Structure 1
Amino acid sequence: MPRVRTLIRSGLGSALLAFTALSSPLASAQETAQASAVRPALWKVADEDTTIWLFGTIHVLPEQVDWYAGPVAKALDSAQELVTEIPIDDTEQAQGTILQMAARKDGKSLRDTLSAKERTAYEGALTSIGIPAQAFDANDAWFAALMLTLIPLKTAGYSTETGIDQQVAARARARHLANHAFETVDYQIGLFDNLSEPTQRAYLDEVVEALPDVKTDVDRMVAAWKAGDADHLAELMNEDESDPEIRKVLITDRNANWAKWLKARLDKPGTVFVAVGAGHLAGPGSVQDQLAAAGVSSTRVQ
Structure 2
Amino acid sequence: MRPWTVLLCFALAAPTALAAPLQTPPVASTTAAPPVPADVPLLAPVVVSGVVPGPGLWKVSKGDHVLWVLGTLSPLPGHIQWESREVAQVLAQSKQVLLEPKIKLKADIGFFGKLFLLPTAYGARKNPDGKTLDQVMDAPTYARWQALKRKYLGDDSGIERWRPLFAAQELYRKALKANGLSNDGGVSGAVAAMAKQDGVPETPVEYRVEIKQPREALKAFKAAAPSDLECFNRTLDSIEHDLPAMTARANAWATGDLEELRRLPDSHRRDACVTAITSAGFAHQLGLDDVPAQLEAAWLAAARDALAKDDTGFALLPMGELLSPTGYVSKLKAAGYTVEAPLGLDEAPTAAGSATAPATATSVTR
TM-score, structure 2 normalization: 0.58
1:67 aligned residue (83, 90, 95): 83
Q: Which residue of 1 aligns with 2:251?
A: 223
Distance 2:68 2:237 in 1: 38
1: distance between equivalents of 2:258 and 2:176? 22
Q: Answer with 1 or 2: which has the greater Rg.
A: 2
Aligned to 2:51: 36
1:206 to 234, 238, 243: 234
**Number of the residue aligned with 2:299:** 258
- Quote the offset at 1:240 in angstroms: 7.8
Specify whether residues 159 and 211 from structure 1 end up closer, same or farther in structure 2 by C-alpha distance, changes over 3 A only: closer
Aligned CA distance change for structure 1 residues 141 and 250 (closer, same or farther; 3 Å)? farther
1:38 and 1:54 mapped to 2: Cα distance? 15
1:205 Cα deviation after fit: 0.9
Query: Alpha-carbon deviation of 1:220?
Result: 0.8
SS in 2 for 1:40: coil
Out of 146, 167, 173, the residue aligned to residue 169 of structure 2 is 146
Aligned residue number for residue 281 of structure 1:
322
Distance change in 2, residues 1:85/1:240 (3 Å): closer
Which residue of structure 2 lines up, in the alignment, with residue 78 of structure 1?
Answer: 93
Compared with structure 1, are the counterparts of its residues 291 and 246 closer, same or farther at alpha carbon in structure 2 (3 Å cutoff)?
A: farther
Distance change in 2, residues 1:120/1:37 (3 Å): closer
Q: Kindly provide the CA deviation profile for residues 258-287 of structure 1, in whole angstroms up to 9, marking residues without a partner as x.
A: 223312332223422112332332223322
Query: What does the per-residue CA deviation read over 1:213-260, in whole Å, with 9 as the maximum and x for residues that have no partner?
Result: 443222111122134343442443446889698499786763454223
CA distance in 2: counterparts of 1:167 and 1:82, whole angstroms = 13
Question: Following TM superposition, by how much is the alpha carbon of 1:153 offset from its aligned partner in structure 2, in angstroms?
Answer: 1.5
In structure 1, C-alpha distance between the alignment counterparts of 2:155 and 2:263, rounded to whole Å: 35
**Cα 1:110–1:282 shift into 2, 3 Å:** farther
Higher RCO by CA contacts (8 Å cutoff, separation 6 or greater)? 1
- Deviation track 1:145-166 (CA, whole Å, cap 9, x = no partner) reads 2222221111233346843111
Indicate the SS of the match to 1:298: strand
* 1:104–1:296 distance in 2 versus 1, CA, 3 Å: farther
Q: State the alpha-carbon separation in 2 of the partners of residues 125 and 243 from structure 1.
A: 19
1:85 counterpart SS class: strand
> Match for 2:322: what amino acid?
L
Partners of 1:105 and 1:38 lie apart in 2 by 44
RMSD: 4.1
Does structure 1 retain, via aligned residues, the 8 Å contact 2:51–2:82? yes
Q: 1:12 to 1:73 in 2, by over 3 A?
A: farther
Q: Is the 8 A contact 1:82 1:179 kept in 2?
A: yes
Structure number having the greater helix percentage = 1
Secondary structure of the structure 2 residue equivalent to 1:52: strand
Q: CA deviation at 1:122?
A: 1.7
The separation in 2 between residues aligned to 1:167 and 1:154, in whole angstroms, is: 20
Residue identity (%): 19
**1:177 aligned to which of 200, 204, 212:** 200
Match of residue 309, structure 2, among 268, 284, 296: 268
- Kept in 2: contact 1:53–1:273 (CA 8 A): yes
Cα distance in 1 between the residues matched to 2:229 and 2:154: 19
Measure the CA separation in 2 of the matches of 1:18 and 1:144: 22
Separation of aligned partners in 1, 2:123 and 2:248: 31
Unaligned runs of 5+ in 1: 1-10, 21-32, 88-95
For the residue of structure 2 that corresponds to 1:183, the secondary structure is strand
1:291 paired to 2:347: no
Structure 2 residue aligned with 1:54? 69
TM-score, normalised to structure 1's length? Answer: 0.69
Q: CA deviation at 1:42?
A: 0.8
**1:250–1:176 CA distance, 2 compared to 1 (3 A):** same
Between the aligned partners of 1:246 and 1:234, the Cα distance in structure 2 is: 23
Evaluate the alpha carbon distance shift between residue 107 and residue 230 of structure 1 in structure 2; reply closer, same or farther with a 3 A threshold. Answer: farther
